[in-house]
Amino acid sequence: MKNKSRLIPLAAIAVVAVSGYAFAADLPKEGTYDYTVCFIRNSARIDYSKAQFAYSYEETGTAVGKVSGTLFDGETVRCVGMTASLDGKRTGGSLCEGVAKDGDKRLTRFWYDNDGKFQREQVSGTGRYDGMVTTGSVKAMGPPEEVKPGTVKVCNHATGTYKLK
């Protein structure tokens, strides 16, 4: 009897584990995403003038999907980057790692193009993110909110489309 009572909890754990895997496997091969991430950003700044400044940063946050359980919802996101303004023209970029609850990861690159427009590119992925292609935009949701000197809270809204292998 002791052995049978141990089998039930192990069977329940196996069902939960397989169900989580099935959910990830059932993700549509293409669709849309819509999520918000509020980051805590630590930065080092050079404020030379209003038109000339630079800062490097590291930030962490958690993605919250517009609809719970959708693509990227619940991911832990960490970014490192640098932004500068040279005579009012923005430049710089960052790399961000998103880690899903099941450990699948994605690496995304962000940068300012020659017109000062913010761009994004999916660089790499593991697990369900392997071979993923995304398009879309990221928009700041208001100005940064100072938490303490050198640390701000900044929220971004990301929307777009994705395709999986």
| Number of Cβ within a 10 Å radius of residue 117 | 10
Residues 6+ apart with CB under 8 A from 124: 106, 107
Write the burial class of residue 70 (CB in 10 Å: 0-12 exposed, 13-18 middle, 19+ buried): middle
Query: Cα(23)–Cα(69) distance, rounded to whole angstroms?
Result: 10
Per-domain boundaries in the chain: 30-163
Long-range contacts of 142-151 (CB under 8 A, 24+ apart): 144/41, 147/40, 150/42, 150/43, 150/44, 150/45, 151/40, 151/41, 151/42, 151/43
By C-alpha distance, which of 163, 137, 158 is closest to 61?
A: 158
Query: Cα(25)–Cα(53) distance, rounded to whole angstroms?
Result: 45
Q: How confident is the model at residue 57 (pLDDT cuts 50, 70, 90)?
A: very high
Q: For the ranges 3-7, 34-38, 52-56, 75-79, which has the lowest average pLDDT?
A: 3-7
By C-alpha distance, which of 91, 82, 77, 94 is closest to 155?
A: 77
Q: What is the pLDDT of residues 81-140, one digit of tens each?
A: 999 999 988 899 999 999 999 999 999 999 988 887 888 899 999 999 999 999 988 899
Query: Cα(49)–Cα(4) distance, rounded to whole angstroms?
Result: 73
Residues 93, 95, 99, CA angle at the centre, nearest 5°? 155
Q: What is the pLDDT of residues 33-46, one digit of tens each?
A: 999 999 999 999 99
